[in-house]
Each structure stands twice: as C-alpha cells, then as structure tokens.
Amino acid sequence: MFALIDGNNFYVSCERVFRPGLNGRPVITLSNNDGCAIARSNEAKAIGIKMGAPWFQIRHLEQEAGLVALSANFPLYGDMSDRMMSIAAGLGPTQEIYSIDESFIGLHGVGGDLTQLSRTIRDRILQWTGIPCGVGIGPTKTLAKLANHIAKTAERKPGSYPEALATVCNLAALPASEVDALLAATAVGEVWGVGSRIGQQLKESGVNTVLDLARLIPAMVRNRWSVVLERTVRELQGEPCISLDEAPSAKKQIACTRSFGHAITDLPPLIEAVGAFASRTAEKLRRQGSLAGQVHVFAHTSPFRPGPKYSQSTVVPLARPSADTRVLIQAAVRGITHIYQPGFQFAKAGVMLLDLMPDTVCQGEFAFEGRESSNWKGLMAALDAINDRFGRGTIHVGSAGTGEARPDWSMRQERLSPQYTTKWSDLPVAWA
C-alpha cells in the first residue's frame, strides 16, 4: 500500500501561513523575473487564470478582481517543505520525496485504519505548519496519486463527490463498484504519466476516462503505445510496477540558469553572474557526492525584445574531474569570455555541469600536484558548512560577485515577501 501526501496550492499556502489576510482572495505566485503564474489559489483558478499565464496579460485583474501576485520565495517554500515532509514521514516506515510539495509514503506493515491515520497526519501538518494537504491511498503509486487528485477535487467541489473522500481518499477501503464509479468520473488526462499527446491519442481511440484506460489489455497497450503506458495500465489494475525510491539516484547533469532582471551588455557583470551560477552548481554537485568533467556555459539575448539577436554556448573540459568551486568558476569564466560578443543585450545565461561521476573516482593524482590543492575537499567542506549556517553566499569566490544585495544582473522580484523562517531579519514579530 502507498500514500501520497500533497500540499494544496503549496506556494500560495506558504504565503498564507504568514499573511492570513490572503485567505479567500485570488493569489498567484510568479516565476523568476515575475514572468508568469506558477502557482494559483483556488480563487485565482476560479477567475480563469491558467497555469503559466504571462503576468502582463493578467495584471489588469489586480484592479478588476482583487488579484494578489507575489514573487516566488523559494527559500521560504523549501524550508516549509522540509517541515511538512518531516511530519509526513510519520505516516509509514518509508518515504520518497517526489517534489517540493509531494511525498510518497510506503504503508507496508502499517496496521489499523489507514484512512483515520492519514487524517491524523494531515491534521498534524495543518496544525504544525499551516499547510493544507490532500492524501491519497492505493495499492500502487499510480492509484495513490489518482486518489490524491480525487481527494483534492472532492474538497474543492463539495456535492460532486462523497463528503468522506474530501482531504483523504483511500481507494483500497472502497467497494469495487465505488472505485469504478470514481475512475469513470475522472478524465484520462488526470492519470500520472499520461501527457497531453498520449492523452489526445487515447481519446481518439475512445479511451476517455481512467476506467476506460484501466480496462485495456496491457500487452495491446505496449504494442500500440509503449512499455511506459503499459506499466501505467498495470498499476491502475492494482499491480505494483513502480517501487518507492527512498534514495533518489544522482543527477546526470546539474544546472543553474537565470534570466536577468535587466539586460547586460558588458562582459564584467556577465562574468559575475556566470561565476555565481557556477558556485551554485558546485554546491549541488558536492551535495550529491559527485565530480564534474566538463562545464557547459551559454548566454543569449531575448527573443522578444527588439535589437540584434545572439545565442551561443561552449563546453569547457576540465583537466581532471572536480567539485572545487574555484575550478568550476574558472572554467565557466573561460567559457563566457570565449563566447561573449559586444553590442548585444544579453537576457539570460547559465552553467551546466556535465560528465558527472562519483567523487570516489581518483585518477592521475601524481600528475596534478601543485596545480590543484590536495586539500580542496576540506576547504570546500568548510565553505559549505559556513554558508549552510550563516546563509548562502556568506563566503564566496570574488569573481562570483562583490556581495551586493541586489547586483544589476539579479532577477526581478518586485513582489517578494519576507523569508520568514530562513532569515533572521525577516522573522515575524508578535507584539503582546
């Protein structure tokens, strides 16, 4: 048995915890540079705001419908996610954190009333963090995710579904006839792993609901579509095909890319930005215990702004695999210097680490003594420890910036809320 715990409208819910006045109002969270909507409250959905809607197209709703738009506050969301996941882990012996707001829990060996236990954990998350959640339970991960969708839909649309399914839906506790009715009332596009293209093909073949998909013959699905869709069908039929990933595999690529708040025309700020991006990728690289063999760097102008267009990238191979921030920044600076051309207004740049391998791999040590400190791991460990304790960027390589709070190339975040739980100066104060 599996459960999926999912925070409702997670980014918006995090903001509402510290600003109760936002409850009941249409609220959205904007992407980097305040570009488009990436999270919407139910009220925002009700006035027709679509996921990914460009801000310039919907900003008139501030005056017309009382819309509140906020810049994405990822430090806050990440910290609230950690708190939510630690409480969710109490539901079962194993956990897979699937995304910032979703967590699969393995219920194998858990006795008692799973529905009531899930409600207890959900209520605890709400009381301790303020984040409302939905919980779905099923004999496979696909059915658990589908049950979670049903639970959230039942909560949003009272009367359309049985009241008992709101917030927690346990498909394993329902009679087969009720499960079939729920699957028949759910569009096939709501199934985990069924994208828009496959969903359209299924509809053209007369497969319109989840029940239609669950009744297909797996072998026929494999021959006509793919092994992946066959696995989905088997999961809908109650056959576990997707195991719980308690320890996610190491990433094969690590990237940090950003659009600039203002166009950059000169090389020095471009170097500073790329240095900061390389520093961030180095932190991620060390966190997963890997080394990089190559550094990919790119920069381009905006396809939407007037003026000449330019897009270029390069790959800088390293003399030896490394996770040393200094080495990776040096490679990134060489790359951006190589592709830079004056006369263009650069809108975005990025750094991607390629050819990743475990940091247990050592080769050619004798050939590089003197060129790279043999104690770089200790230095980087100290760097990470200080930045973890006092905040990212407390200590950084000089080429990655001067320590300005808002360099010219930083993202536009004109509607950013305080970092209530991760920054001392932003801690909320309660007056007696």
What's the mean per-residue pLDDT of the chain? Answer: 87
What is the total count of domains within the chain? 3
Q: Is the pLDDT of residue 362 over 80?
A: no
pLDDT at 388: 77
- Stronger pLDDT, 396 or 24, i.e. the higher one: 24
**376 and 302 together in one domain:** yes
* 306 and 206 share one domain: no
Q: Do 168 and 21 sit in the same domain of this protein?
A: yes
The predicted pLDDT at position 331 comes to 94
Q: Domain check: are 275 and 341 in the same one?
A: yes
Q: Are residues 227 and 135 in the same domain?
A: no
Domain assignment present for residue 248? The answer is no
Q: Which segment of 234-243, 313-322, 410-419 scores lowest on mean pLDDT?
A: 410-419
Q: Are residues 148 and 131 in the same domain?
A: yes
Asked whether the beta carbons of 134 and 6 are under 8 A apart, the reply is yes
pLDDT in tens, 308-351: 999 999 999 998 899 999 999 999 999 999 999 999 999 889 99
Q: What does the pLDDT read at residue 153?
A: 85
Structure letter (DSSP) for residue 168 = E
Please give the Cα distance from 429 to 266 (Å, whole number). Answer: 43
Point out the domain boundary residue: 174, 202, 223: 174
One domain, residues 203 and 314: no
Domain of 231, CATH number, reads: 1.10.150.20
The token pair at 110 is 């858990």
Is 214 found in the same domain as 130?
Answer: no
Q: Is residue 284 domain-resident?
A: yes
Does residue 373 share a domain with residue 330? yes
* pLDDT value at residue 123: 94
Q: Does residue 401 carry a pLDDT above 80?
A: no
- What's the CATH code of the domain at 321? 3.30.1490.100
Lowest mean pLDDT among 146-150, 276-280, 359-363: 359-363
> Nearest to residue 424, comparing CAs of 395, 389, 378?
389
Give me the count of residues in the chain: 432
pLDDT at residue 377 greater than cutoff 90? no
Lowest model confidence (mean pLDDT) among 54-58, 130-134, 155-159: 155-159
Question: Is the per-residue pLDDT at 369 higher than 50?
Answer: no
Give ∠ CA 168-170-172 in degrees, rounded to 5. Answer: 175
Domain containing 115 — which CATH number? 3.30.70.270
**pLDDT, average across residues 198-215:** 92
Let me know whether 189 and 277 are in one domain: no
Residues 24 and 157 grouped into a single domain: yes
The pLDDT, as a whole number, for residue 3 is 95
Mean pLDDT confidence for 66-77: 92
308: in domain: yes
In a domain, 76, yes or no: yes
Please tell me whether residues 157 and 66 are part of one structural domain: yes
**pLDDT mean over 234-259:** 81
Among 164-168, 171-175, 198-202, the minimum mean pLDDT is found in 164-168
On whether residue 411 sits in a domain, the answer given is no
Phi-psi region of 391 (alpha: psi -120 to 50; beta: other; left: phi over 0): left
Which SS3 state, helix, strand or coil, does residue 17 take?
Answer: helix
Task: Answer with the one of 159, 174, 189 that is the final residue of a domain.
Answer: 174
Each residue's pLDDT tens digit, 291-304: 999 999 999 998 87
**CB 271 within 8 Å of CB 297:** no
The answer to the question of residue 428 being in a domain is no
What is residue 302's predicted lDDT score, i.e. its pLDDT? 85
Instruction: Look up the domain containing 230 and give its range.
Output: 179-236
Query: Which residues are CB-neighbours of 261 under 8 A, at least 6 positions away?
Result: 33, 408, 409, 410, 411, 412, 413
pLDDT at 152: 87
Of 139, 174, 209, which marks where a domain is finished?
174
Q: Give residues with Cβ within 8 angstroms of 86, minimum separation 6.
A: none
Considering just the CA atoms, what is the radius of gyration of the chain in Å? 25
What is the spatial distance between Cα 354 and Cα 121, in angstroms, rounded to a whole number? 41
Is 413 within a domain? no
pLDDT above 90 covers what percent of the chain?
Answer: 58
> pLDDT grade, residue 115 (50/70/90)?
very high
- Classify residue 90: in a domain, yes or no: yes
